[in-house]
């Protein structure tokens, strides 16, 4: 009974049910398989949900699950001698989409592993994982995997990661991340007693977001710390003008 239920909800390349691309991602081979996927979702999902909003996050997750599942099915059917009766299960394809988006939006993030004294750059780590997945996918394509298909859905992982990156660039998440990092660097420079560095960095922020009220205000503070009160007054005046425009527009 349980085996039949499991098989009916999974994604079987040789016998696809219409609901399979939606239900397969809720099933996993074992506790370890589920734990790994949930660990990746926990590490990369929280910040991404805050940046995207819950609705966009969920749409991306479930849309990614459907896309990566169907991609894995297509590749299984295209590769000779593949096992078309082995069920495809797991949320790793959907998680790979989120990881791809994360790599673009939070490209400067570092990840700390338990037991290591340093943080690993997330982009370097994810690039290494992607290369391993591509190697596995290539091995399947060349027929080096057992039965022409391994137990790992390499194509879903690679396709999901690339889809996530492409979507993130199209949604201009790289620009959003760059703006956030520049603003953080500028604020840290002023806090650490380098007002001229802060001025240059806030000016860089304003080159891409000229009406950023916070950037204008903080640039005024930085000029004040340098001792140039004329520049300080000009930037604060621009900030007040923009704030007034916002109030008039809202009213």
Q: What is the pLDDT of residues 53-70, one digit of tens each?
A: 999 999 999 999 999 999
Q: What digits encode the pLDDT tens for the residues 99-121?
A: 999 999 999 998 877 666 778 88
The yes-or-no verdict on residue 74 having pLDDT over 70 is: yes
- Which range of 97-101, 120-124, 199-203 scores highest in mean pLDDT? It is 97-101
State the average pLDDT over residues 179-198.
89
Q: What is the CATH number of the domain that holds 225?
A: 1.25.40.10
Q: Provide the whole-model pTM.
A: 0.84
Give the model's pLDDT for residue 246. Answer: 43
DSSP letter for each residue of the chain:
-HHHHHHHHSB-TTS--TTHHHHGGG--SSHHHHHHHHHHHHHHHHHHHHHH-HHHHHHHHHHHHHHHHHHHHHHHHHSTT--SSSPB--SHHHHHHHHHHHHHHTTT-EEEPTT-SSEEEHHHHHHHHHHHHHHHHHHHHTT-SGGG--SS-HHHHHHHHHHHHHHHHHTTHHHHHHHHHHHHHHHHHHHTT-HHHHHHHHHHHHHH-TT-HHHHHHHHHHHHHHT-HHHHHHHHHHHHHHHHHHHHHH-
State the average pLDDT over residues 228-244.
50
Residues 123 and 142 in one domain: yes
pLDDT band at 237 (very low <50, low <70, confident <90, very high): very low
Domain hosting 109: range is: 2-171
Residues 138 and 204 in one domain: no
pLDDT band at 97 (very low <50, low <70, confident <90, very high): very high
Residues 153 and 60 in one domain: yes
Residues 160 and 49 in one domain: yes
Task: Count up the domains in the chain and report the number.
Answer: 2
Residues 166 and 205 in one domain: no
Give the model's pLDDT for residue 168. Answer: 97
């Amino acid at each position: 009974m349980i085996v039949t239920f499991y098989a009916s909800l999974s994604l079987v390349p040789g016998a696809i049910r219409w609901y399979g691309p939606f239900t397969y991602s809720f099933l996993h081979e074992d506790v370890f398989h589920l734990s790994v996927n949930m660990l990746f979702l926990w590490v990369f999902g929280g910040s991404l949900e805050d940046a995207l909003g819950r609705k966009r996050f969920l749409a991306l997750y479930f849309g990614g699950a459907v896309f990566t599942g169907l991609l894995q099915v297509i590749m299984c059917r295209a590769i000779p001698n593949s096992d078309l009766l082995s069920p495809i299960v797991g949320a790793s394809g959907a998680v790979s989409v989120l990881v791809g988006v994360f790599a673009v939006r939070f490209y400067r993030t570092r990840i700390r592993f338990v037991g290591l004294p340093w943080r690993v750059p997330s982009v370097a780590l994810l690039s290494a994982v992607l290369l391993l997945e591509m190697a596995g996918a290539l091995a399947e394509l060349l027929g080096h995997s057992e039965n022409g298909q391994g137990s790992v859905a390499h194509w879903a992982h690679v396709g999901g990661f690339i889809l996530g990156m492409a979507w993130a660039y199209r949604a201009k998440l790289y620009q959003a991340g760059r703006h956030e990092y520049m603003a953080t660097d500028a604020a840290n420079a002023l806090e650490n007693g380098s007002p001229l560095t802060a001025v240059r960095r806030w000016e860089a922020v304003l080159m891409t977001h000229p009406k950023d009220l916070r950037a204008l205000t903080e640039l005024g503070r930085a000029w004040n710390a340098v001792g140039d009160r004329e520049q300080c007054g000009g930037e604060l005046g621009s900030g007040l003008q923009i704030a007034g425009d916002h109030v008039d527009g809202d009213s």
